[in-house]
């Protein structure tokens, strides 16, 4: 179980590794060069409701950085020739919340290596951000000439959500508020303040970058704090948190009600068949379903087919095929009311469809937040109890962490730009949730053409969660191209019509057009 969550967290890391554009227009003072800045603490101003506890500075030598490898996970490439930088660690608290939050701000020590930009970074799973000594997002930011920042929101870890309950079994509203929205706003205000005082110059442009939980954090910022960032890169966003998290447990109810427990080998056979059937719907045979919503292939067509799994021949049954169709269709109530989207055909079942082994992130959300019962067993779900759990989750927490407000008018008026890409083979967060949100924004703010002026979505065929080689069969966004596109949009007014992508094997390049194309 822990390994599966580690893969989720690793999925968000390669994105950060790609956020390494070459430093542009290295800033100077009074038209000349500036000397290296002393790595020392600066006075920090915090937003209302946030109190500064301590400020400490740690000098970092820079150089070449390699990152530990983990079997079965994508390897982060080394980051070389990183200039020396200064980590300023700001500890804050929120009176009445009894919390301790650390914000790390990483600043190129020589002002000539700073491009005048600020880049806040997001987290994954239950982590609000990576503050480690080998933080890929922060080292990448410094390498790219940015002042980077990350926050732990006071929750410290992404591996469990036990922080959600106080010792007396009540919801820790302070930490939940931090995780849902407050921590990134604090990071934005404090991070830019630190940069301004460190260099004695004002940040010219501020950006946020993140995927998954980081994507949700970016959307929360656009909705709640529309002037914090001029550009937000929020990929595979975990918006509609309650719906998609609880929807991830739907497979447990399906398996229980249909009385089946298929192996991953059996499940993979359905995806193989679906891709074979729908590959050429776009006129190109490339082993990828271009738009899964166009694929009407029925899992029951595989009934009676024999597959070999671990040396044993298995015949696909109607019951298993029915279960797969239900997982693809997404959760419904016992009366047939659609509750949320299922995962797209072609996306791996390995995480959210293991019989008797629910994915840890939604399982813990159900335990520590929805039911407030650490002993809650999601492997026992039925269609009836699933619906009850889903309804309870949305009633309790939508106002806190859904981050689904479609009225982005304040963000648009402030001149903000929001850029998102989401893989059509995302195995953790249904792509249609992002499409659903975009449609609501269109309806709220005057249609697709107007919304495209400040918010663009790219749907990537065959790409998995946060774009890794783990399960992606379609081309991945070129490293750094998404942030480059956002910077050009914010600073030069060049709205991205396409994003450059390269096949997993590195042999083919192409361009992906923005939604709805």
Give whole-number Cα distances, 57 to 86, 105, 135, 198, in Å. Answer: 7, 9, 17, 11
How far is residue 134's CA from residue 44's CA, in Å, rounded to a whole number? 25
How far is residue 234's CA from residue 214's CA, in Å, rounded to a whole number? 7
Q: Residues 106, 465, 484, 514: which is the catalytic one? A: 465
Helix/strand/coil for 50? coil
Smallest CA-to-CA distance from 505 within 305, 192, 260, 287 is with 287
State which H helix or E strand residue 458 sits in.
Answer: strand 455-460
Give whole-number Cα distances, 160 to 154, 170, 368, in Å. Answer: 13, 17, 10
Per this entry, what is the length of the chain? Answer: 517
Alpha-helix runs per DSSP H in 414-480: 431-445, 448-451
State which H helix or E strand residue 386 sits in.
Answer: helix 383-401
Query: Do residues 21 and 482 touch, judged by C-beta distance below 8 A?
Result: no
How far is residue 66's CA from residue 173's CA, in Å, rounded to a whole number? 38
Query: Do residues 370 and 361 touch, judged by C-beta distance below 8 A?
Result: no
Smallest CA-to-CA distance from 429 within 215, 176, 278 is with 215
Q: Residues 186, 193, 426, 484: which is the catalytic one? A: 426
Q: Residues 212, 251, 425, 472: which is the catalytic one? A: 212
How far is residue 345's CA from residue 164's CA, in Å, rounded to a whole number? 34
Residue 325 tokens, joined: 């169709």
The CB-based long-range contact list for 304-307 (8 Å cut-off, 24+ gap) reads 305/269, 305/273, 307/265, 307/266, 307/269
Q: Is 465 among the catalytic positions? A: yes
Q: Is 212 among the catalytic positions? A: yes
| Catalytic residue list | 212, 426, 465
């Amino acid at each position: 179980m822990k390994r599966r969550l580690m893969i989720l967290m690793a999925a968000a890391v390669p994105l950060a590794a790609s956020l390494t554009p070459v430093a542009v227009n290295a800033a100077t003072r009074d038209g000349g060069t500036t000397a290296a800045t002393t790595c020392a603490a600066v006075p920090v101003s915090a937003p209302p409701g946030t109190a500064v506890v301590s400020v400490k500075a740690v000098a970092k030598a820079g150089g070449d950085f390699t990152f530990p490898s983990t079997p079965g996970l994508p390897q982060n490439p080394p980051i070389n020739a990183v200039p020396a930088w200064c980590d300023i660690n700001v500890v804050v608290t929120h009176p009445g919340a009894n919390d301790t939050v650390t914000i790390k701000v990483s600043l190129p020590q020589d002002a000539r290596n700073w491009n005048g930009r600020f880049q806040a970074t997001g987290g994954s799973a239950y982590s609000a951000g990576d503050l480690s000594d080998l933080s890929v997002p922060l080292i990448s930011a410094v390498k790219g000439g940015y002042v980077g920042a990350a926050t732990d929101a006071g929750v410290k870890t992404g591996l469990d959500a036990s922080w959600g309950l106080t010792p007396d079994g009540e919801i820790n509203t302070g930490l939940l508020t931090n995780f849902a929205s407050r921590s990134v706003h604090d990071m934005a205000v404090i991070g830019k303040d630190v940069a301004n005082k460190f260099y004695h110059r004002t940040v010219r442009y501020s950006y946020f970058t993140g995927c998954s939980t980081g994507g949700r954090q970016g959307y929360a910022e656009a909705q709640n704090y529309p002037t914090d960032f001029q550009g937000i890169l929020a990929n595979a966003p975990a918006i509609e948190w309650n719906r998609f998290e609880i929807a991830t447990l739907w497979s447990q109810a399906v398996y229980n009600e249909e009385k089946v427990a298929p192996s991953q080998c059996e499940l993979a056979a359905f995806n193989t068949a679906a891709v074979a059937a729908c590959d050429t719907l776009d006129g190109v045979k490339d082993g990828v379903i271009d738009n899964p919503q166009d694929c009407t292939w029925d899992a029951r067509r595989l009934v009676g087919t024999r597959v070999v799994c671990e040396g044993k021949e298995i015949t696909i049954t109607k019951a298993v095929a029915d279960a797969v169709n239900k997982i693809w269709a997404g959760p419904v109530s016992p009366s047939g009311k659609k509750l949320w989207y299922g995962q797209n055909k072609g996306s791996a079942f390995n995480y959210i469809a293991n019989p008797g082994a629910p994915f840890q992130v939604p399982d813990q959300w159900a335990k520590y937040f929805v039911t407030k019962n650490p002993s809650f067993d999601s492997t026992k779900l039925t269609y009836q109890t699933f619906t009850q759990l889903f309804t309870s989750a949305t009633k309790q927490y939508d106002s806190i962490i859904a981050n689904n407000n479609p009225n982005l008018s304040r963000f648009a008026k402030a001149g903000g730009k929001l850029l998102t890409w989401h893989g059509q083979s995302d195995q953790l967060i249904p792509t249609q949730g992002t499409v659903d949100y975009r449609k609501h924004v269109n309806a709220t703010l005057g249609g697709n053409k107007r919304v495209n002026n400040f918010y663009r979505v790219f749907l990537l065929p065959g790409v998995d969660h946060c774009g890794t080689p783990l399960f992606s069969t379609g081309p991945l966004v070129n490293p750094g191209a998404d942030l480059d596109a956002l910077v050009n949009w914010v600073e030069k007014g060049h709205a991205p019509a396409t994003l450059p992508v390269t096949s997993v094997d590195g042999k083919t390049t192409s361009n992906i057009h923005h939604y709805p194309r």
